[in-house]
Structure 1
Amino acid sequence: MLDKKDAGPPSLLNKLVSLTTIRDIELFEFSLLKTLAELLRINQISMYSLNQTDTTCWFSTYSANLAQDDNKRQFSESQEIYTTEITIPEEIRTAQLWIETTKKPYIHHQVDRYLVVYPILAVNKIEGMLTFELSHSLTEDEMLIISSLLSITHNFRSLLDESQKDKLTGLLNRQTFEENIKKISVHTLSSDMNQEQVGNEPNRRKSYAETERFCLAIVDIDDFKSINDRFGHIMGDEVLLLLSYVMKQNFRTRDLLFRFGGEEFVVIFRASNKEEAHRALERFRNKIQEYRFPQIDTVTISMGATLINEVNYLASEIIGRADQALYYAKQNGKNQLHFYENLLQNGHVVDKKEVISIDSF
């Protein structure tokens, strides 16, 4: 057997084969960073994924040092998948302007380092930027590695993205739901364990687990069958398209938006607490109520929501809790939002010990 220390550098072909076996977009992005770090033999590489607002971005990074840390190895991948939203740094704005103007990568020499920024392209626009530092200027071989890998993975990512989207609305499809719940559960569990480890340290910074949780809400269009019956299925599809448009505008880029089929949607998003989650969902409900749909005019939605925490990691249990809250909203006047936790506390729903199947609602 070839000794690991005697093995040559990883080949581009082998890395491409490994990358194209991945079927999860966020894991694919993280693996792309890791692959480039290994091929270029650098310790750290980062990605800035631009938001629609053009003022903030999602920052993720791969660090070889983090991966080698025994205390953090088991958490490193799940934590990197869920990245941090930040204001776009001025240096990245400068790089973006340079790339858009010159159509070339941005390379800035400062004393003993070179900052390299490569664009990650979508259709007719830059959707993100890849950044890393070198102690030398890029060689032709290194430029070939980067351009080849980004070109091939861009095409593969487009196919992967297409396979996970609902054909009508462009939101995530139902098949991707359970896998996303599993990732969130692993992340939440990792954060909880990390919080316990540092819990006794004085004057410590608040951990990610303390400042952000996840909320899941089921969104159901009120009287959608009546809309189809009165205006036809073409207008019904138009309502679904417009609702998904408002949903994309209301929530953040990295929030998970699903169409489950028919008039049912699911949103999973980060919130510091239930009150913040309630405000975000109420804002969305009001946006839909105020939106003027062609011919139909007013459309309303009912929502049932629940927090994702250490108590309910199973996808079927989480969706079941939200579904109970949605049922209560539909039975008590529609066009309203209810949280499972509030209904349980007030005795309006029962904590069912048998979890509800995802396919039951």
Structure 2
Amino acid sequence: MQLLEAIESISRQRSVETVELALLQTLGQNFSEVEEALLLVEHDGRLWISSHWYSGRLCSSERLELLSDPQRLLVAREALLQGHAREGDNQAWRLATQDTPTQLLLLCGEQLHDDGQRALRSLITIVENFSRLLSEKNRDRLTGLLNRHQLEERILHALALAEDNALNQERRSRQRHPSWLAILDIDHFKQINDTYGHLFGDEVLLLVSRLMADCFRREDQLFRYGGEEFVILLSDLDAHEAHLVLERFRRLLSEHDFPQLKGLTVSIGYTRIGDQGSASAVLGQADQALYWAKQNGRNRLADYTELLENGELQGVPSSSGSIDLF
């Protein structure tokens, strides 16, 4: 095994997800004893497969698959408690990264010899350390949500999925529903800062981010966009479901008891991710819908497509440009 080449491959990655995929691919290609390599995540007390290497193929699951094999579950559960476990042809390690939920590496195949075990532990340590660095770089320091530097990449990925879905819809047994981008803005946030101070305002932002993490699904992506604005990327929902999910959060926030505040509300503008062609065009549509919501009473949702069809807005042209981050 060329350990230095594996380290170089991992260090070229620019997101935690691709680092993890590089680890699985490295293990599958360089350890002859490994028949399968799986990355697991724990959620709601259950273990799910997020990435999988098998028989020369690597796949990252958009819709996570529940781990159901009894022996593998037993080993994985023990690794959650002990950090490392092995039983028969299965061995698992808990990865010490900053990202949640808890992650496990599960290997299936012959037990590794001593040199292989040492090489594997070295790779795991490298992945843990590098993932921490990337996670810190990609997350907002106050809220822990993804920051806007990650946003363009995630939107472009959603645009690519939409294009692929449109091109291959006839060949698929199940048609994916679209993705959606929503911009959320806390109403009258400047007044909160002016009245109670910026430390109190930061506490409000932190509480809002925690409510977002509790309310939205594991597969939804949450960003702090700047100031009192947040961005939400929803995946695989039809128009009615997207509206219900966002409305549920708007209502949850308006009913939440915030210390010293009589009430807190948000305005939300959102758009379907489809053929816009660029991240800036997607954001522009959601931003227009948000502006309309704030100009028409606040504390409400606004769907860009619906506003456009009703003649409330003028369309945002598609663009190949990137997001202006500063």
Q: TM-score, normalised by structure 2?
A: 0.90
> Is residue 130 of structure 1 aligned with residue 130 of structure 2?
no
> For the structure 1 residues 264 and 125, does the alpha-carbon distance in structure 2 shift closer, same or farther, using more than 3 Å as the test?
closer
> Is residue 99 of structure 1 aligned with residue 87 of structure 2?
no
Q: 2 CA distance for matches of 1:125 and 1:270?
A: 19
> For the structure 1 residues 194 and 95, does the alpha-carbon distance in structure 2 shift closer, same or farther, using more than 3 Å as the test?
farther
Letter aligned with residue 14 of structure 2? R
> For the structure 1 residues 88 and 254, does the alpha-carbon distance in structure 2 shift closer, same or farther, using more than 3 Å as the test?
same
> Is residue 257 of structure 1 aligned with residue 222 of structure 2?
yes
Structure 2: segments with no counterpart, 5+ residues: none
Question: 1:299, CA displacement in angstroms?
Answer: 0.7
Match of 2:284 among 316, 320, 328: 320
Letter aligned with residue 79 of structure 2? I
Q: 1 CA distance for matches of 2:222 and 2:208?
A: 12
Question: 1:88, CA displacement in angstroms?
Answer: 4.5
For 1:129, what is the secondary structure of its paired residue?
strand
Partner of 1:38: 29
Q: 2 CA distance for matches of 1:119 and 1:105?
A: 9
Task: Please tell me the root mean square deviation across aligned C-alpha atoms, in Å.
Answer: 2.5
> For the structure 1 residues 238 and 353, does the alpha-carbon distance in structure 2 shift closer, same or farther, using more than 3 Å as the test?
same
> Superposition pairs for residues 137-156 of structure 1, below 5 Å?
137-156=111-130
Q: 2 CA distance for matches of 1:268 and 1:16?
A: 32
Question: 1:233, CA displacement in angstroms?
Answer: 0.9
> For the structure 1 residues 188 and 26, does the alpha-carbon distance in structure 2 shift closer, same or farther, using more than 3 Å as the test?
farther
Question: 1:330, CA displacement in angstroms?
Answer: 0.4
Q: 2 CA distance for matches of 1:287 and 1:125?
A: 23
Match of 1:343 among 307, 314, 319: 307
Question: 1:341, CA displacement in angstroms?
Answer: 1.3
For 2:235, what is the secondary structure of its paired residue?
strand
Match of 2:199 among 234, 246, 264: 234
Match of 2:64 among 85, 89, 106: 85
> For the structure 1 residues 170 and 218, does the alpha-carbon distance in structure 2 shift closer, same or farther, using more than 3 Å as the test?
same
Partner of 2:8: 17
> For the structure 1 residues 217 and 58, does the alpha-carbon distance in structure 2 shift closer, same or farther, using more than 3 Å as the test?
farther
Letter aligned with residue 83 of structure 1? E
Partner of 1:157: 131
Structure 1: segments with no counterpart, 5+ residues: 1-8, 68-79, 200-204
Question: 1:29, CA displacement in angstroms?
Answer: 1.6
> Superposition pairs for residues 1-361 of structure 1, below 5 Å?
9=1, 11-41=2-32, 42=34, 44-51=36-43, 53-55=44-46, 57-66=48-57, 80-81=59-60, 83-89=62-68, 91=70, 92-107=72-87, 109=88, 114-122=89-97, 127-134=102-109, 136-196=110-170, 198=171, 205-206=173-174, 210-309=175-274, 311-353=275-317, 355=319, 358-359=323-324
Q: 2 CA distance for matches of 1:282 and 1:66?
A: 40
> For the structure 1 residues 156 and 357, does the alpha-carbon distance in structure 2 shift closer, same or farther, using more than 3 Å as the test?
closer
Q: 2 CA distance for matches of 1:45 and 1:56?
A: 15
Question: 1:336, CA displacement in angstroms?
Answer: 0.5
Q: 2 CA distance for matches of 1:44 and 1:194?
A: 29
Q: 1 CA distance for matches of 2:277 and 2:8?
A: 32
For 1:152, what is the secondary structure of its paired residue?
helix
Q: 1 CA distance for matches of 2:311 and 2:77?
A: 57
Deviations 1:271-305 (A, max 9, x none): 33111111111111111111111112411000001
Question: 1:269, CA displacement in angstroms?
Answer: 1.7
Q: 1 CA distance for matches of 2:61 and 2:100?
A: 24
> For the structure 1 residues 85 and 173, does the alpha-carbon distance in structure 2 shift closer, same or farther, using more than 3 Å as the test?
same
Aligned residues: 323
Deviations 1:50-101 (A, max 9, x none): 23x223635221345446xxxxxxxxxxxx4453223453635422332244
> For the structure 1 residues 168 and 360, does the alpha-carbon distance in structure 2 shift closer, same or farther, using more than 3 Å as the test?
closer
> For the structure 1 residues 358 and 18, does the alpha-carbon distance in structure 2 shift closer, same or farther, using more than 3 Å as the test?
closer
Q: 1 CA distance for matches of 2:60 and 2:125?
A: 22
Question: 1:126, CA displacement in angstroms?
Answer: 7.9
CA contact (8 A) 1:106 1:118 kept: no
Q: 2 CA distance for matches of 1:193 and 1:61?
A: 26
Query: Identity rate of aligned residues, in percent?
Result: 35
For 1:105, what is the secondary structure of its paired residue?
strand
